[in-house]
Structures are given as C-alpha cells and as structure tokens.
Amino acid sequence: MQKMKQILCVVLMICLFASCSSANNSGNTSAQSGSAGAGGQSGEAPTADESSEADTVNQPLEMPDPSEAGALHQGYFKFRDQVYKLPMSIEDFEKIESTTCVIFSGEHGGFISGEQLSEISLEPFETYKGARFTTDMNDLDNDSKGFFAFFKNFTEEEIPFSQAQVAGMYIADGWLLPEYFEFPGGITMSSTKDEVLAAYGKPNNIVVSAHEWRKMVKENDKMVDSGISIRFNDDGQINSITIGINLYTL
C-alpha cells in the first residue's frame, strides 16, 4: 500500500511539471510573436532613422521658391491648396478633381478611357499631345469640364498608354477651374505680366512674341523642354500657362 502511494505521488509530480513547462513555453512563444509583430521579422522596433525616413515619405510637398535653382523646371503646381509635382501617373492625376483620362484613338474610332488605354502603346520616349482629363464623359467637347494634359513614355521600352506619365499640362480660361491653380512665387491665372517678371525675372529664351514669356532648362547652350511658358493678353493679364517635363511642346 505504501509503495502504491509513492507511485501515485511520482505520477502527480510528473503531471504538474509537464503542465508548468507547457505554460512557460506558450508564454515565451506569445512574447516572441508579439515582439516580431511590433518590429518586423527581426523582432526589433523600427530605428530612429527608419521612422524618420517613413515620415519624410509621407510629408506633403512644398512649393519651391522661384529663386531656387531649377524651381521652375521641376513641374510643381498647386491645386486647391494641395501641392503636386509632375510627372505623375494617370491614376494619381485623375484623383486631383475626380476626372477620367480620355484620348482620341483612330483605330478605335473615337474616344477611349479606362482599360482601353492599355490597348494602345507609346514608343520609347514618345510624347502624346492632346489628351484630357474630364469630369463628364457625356460632354467631352466641353473644355470647361476638363484639364488638357501631355503624356510621355520616359522608358526605353514600348509601354501601354495606361503606364504613361502625365508630364505636362495646359491651364487657360475656358478650361476646368483655372482659378484654383497656383505656381511657384504665387503666380495664378489672375497675375499680370509685371507680377510674373517680379517673381520669375526675365525669360531666358527667344520670346516668340511680345505676349509670350518662357523660362526653360538650358543644356549645352541649347534650350530643352522642361519649364514654364506663359502667354498674355493685350492688357497684360495671363491668357494661359503651360508647364512640362521633357515635352518638346513648350
């Protein structure tokens, strides 16, 4: 009888030990899992540098001072108090004012948009002029309901049009919401020629006419096509503003 009691005590101790060991292992596993979830696969929290880099990426853009080198050649503009920078993807540009990208395709016999944009292509470094972003697919001839944009393939490969970048845009009276656009130095569609000269200085290219002002990138003493072009009415008020990156259209 005494021997039976001893056996029962040993079995009970083994069971208690196994139960405690299992609980400890479970707790350790949970702790390790929680650590990995907080800091990634390594189980470490993000470093100060990593957190700083993430914050920088998420920071909103700021409009450059026009006196800064290249400020007018980098495609900055403001719309409804939000700063943007060209080039932009078609998808991102459509979000500016809930618009749809539309182009005319001869092979399709009319205007196309959406998934159909993948059915046509752009050659390497090709620029496409004449497309628009519209707020009304049923009134495509109405300029007041759309933005006029230029597109470019910046790659060395042929790509579907849907992957092209919005590399330039044209803002003018009669088009969609020109009064909500602003450019470096506070220049808007209501600015005068004198205000443009005060903010940007003299143009740096041959002026096509007395009513046109341009400031372009200079490279090897030749004008290339990144910059801003402004046309004025006879009274000195702005008629249109065109900005672009590597367009061959300004």
Confidence at residue 110, expressed as pLDDT on a 0 to 100 scale? 86
Query: Nearest CA to 181 among 102, 241, 101, 249?
Result: 241
Paired residues of 100 in beta bridges: 134
Residues 29 and 92 in one domain: no
pLDDT tens-digit map of 61-100: 899 998 887 888 889 999 999 999 999 999 999 999 999 9
Residues 9 and 117 in one domain: no
**Pairing between strand 76-79 and 146-152?**
unpaired
More confident residue, 41 or 65: 65
Paired residues of 83 in beta bridges: 78
Residues 139 and 203 in one domain: yes
Confidence at residue 44, expressed as pLDDT on a 0 to 100 scale? 46
Residues 146 and 217 in one domain: yes
Buried b (16+ CB within 10 A) or exposed e, 83-93: ebebbbebeeb
Is 151 among the domain residues?
A: yes
Residue 189: phi and psi, rounded to 5, are -65, -20
Is 250 among the domain residues?
A: no
Residues 170 and 82 in one domain: yes
Residues 209 and 127 in one domain: yes
Confidence at residue 240, expressed as pLDDT on a 0 to 100 scale? 93
More confident residue, 24 or 129: 129
More confident residue, 224 or 162: 162
16 band by pLDDT with thresholds 50, 70 and 90: very low
Place of tokens 């628009």: 132
What's the whole-model pTM score?
0.71
Per the structure, the complete domain to which residue 94 belongs is given by 76-244
Residues 121 and 236 in one domain: yes
Report d(CA 147, CA 100) in Å as an integer.
10
Domain count, the chain: 2
Report d(CA 72, CA 15) in Å as an integer.
78
pLDDT > 60? residue 27: no
Average pLDDT, the chain: 77
Is 87 among the domain residues?
A: yes
- Tell me the H-state helices in the chain: 2-39, 48-58, 90-94, 193-200
Confidence at residue 17, expressed as pLDDT on a 0 to 100 scale? 39
Confidence at residue 133, expressed as pLDDT on a 0 to 100 scale? 95
Question: Do the Cβ atoms of 149 and 99 come closer than 8 Å?
Answer: no
Residues 49 and 144 in one domain: no
Residues 87 and 28 in one domain: no
Report d(CA 220, CA 59) in Å as an integer.
35
Is 197 among the domain residues?
A: yes
Residue 4: phi and psi, rounded to 5, are -65, -40
Residues 103 and 171 in one domain: yes
Compute, in degrees rounded to 10, the torsion defined by CA atoms 172, 178, 179, 185.
-80
The whole-number average pLDDT for the span 217-234 is: 71
